[in-house]
Amino acid sequence: MDRKWLWLGAVVVLILVYFGVRSLTRDRLPVRAAEVSQEPLASTISTNGLVEPIHNIGIHAAIGAIVKAVYVQPGDTVPAGKLLMQLDDIDARAKVASADSAVKAAQATLEATAQSGTLEQRHASAAEITRDKLELTQAQHDVDALVKLSVTGAAAPSEVAAARERLATAEATLHAAEQSAQSRYSPAEIARAQASLNDAEANRAVAQQVLAQASVHAPSAGTIYSVDVNATEFAEQGKLLLQMADLHEERVRAYFDEPEIGRLAVGQPILIKWDAKPGMVWHGHIERTPITVITYGTRNVGEVLIHIDNADGQLLPDTHVTVTVTTSSDPHALSIPREALRSENGKTFVYKVDGEELKKTFVITGAINLTQVAILSGLKDGDLVATGTTTGQPLQEGVPIKRVR
Q: Please give the biggest Cα pair distance in the chain.
A: 208
Sorted by sequence, the CB contacts under 8 Å of residue 223 that are 6+ apart come out as 75, 76, 77, 78, 244, 245, 246, 247, 313
pLDDT per residue as tens digits for the range 109-154 = 777 776 665 666 666 666 776 787 788 788 788 777 777 888 777 7
CATH hierarchy code of domain 28-41+332-404: 2.40.420.20
374 contacts 36 by C-beta, under 8 angstroms:
no
pLDDT at 139: 79
* Partners of 33 in beta bridges: 386
Q: What share of the chain is helix, strand, coil (3-state, %, to 5)?
A: 35, 35, 25
pLDDT at 329: 86
Residue 181 DSSP SS3: helix
Domain 56-89+214-245 has CATH 1.10.300.10: no
Q: If pLDDT is split at 50, 70 and 90, which confidence band does 106 have?
A: confident
Q: Which of 71-75, 79-83, 121-125, 246-250 has the lowest average pLDDT?
A: 121-125
Q: Which of 25, 22, 33 is nearest to 337 (CA)?
A: 33
- pTM of the predicted protein model: 0.57
Sorted by sequence, the CB contacts under 8 Å of residue 56 that are 6+ apart come out as 243, 245, 317
Where do the domains of the chain lie? Answer: 28-41+332-404, 45-54+246-328, 56-89+214-245
382 contacts 353 by C-beta, under 8 angstroms:
no
pLDDT per residue as tens digits for the range 345-367 = 889 999 999 999 999 999 999 88
The larger pLDDT score, comparing residue 211 to residue 70, is at: 70
Stretch 290-296: mean pLDDT:
93
CATH hierarchy code of domain 45-54+246-328: 2.40.30.170
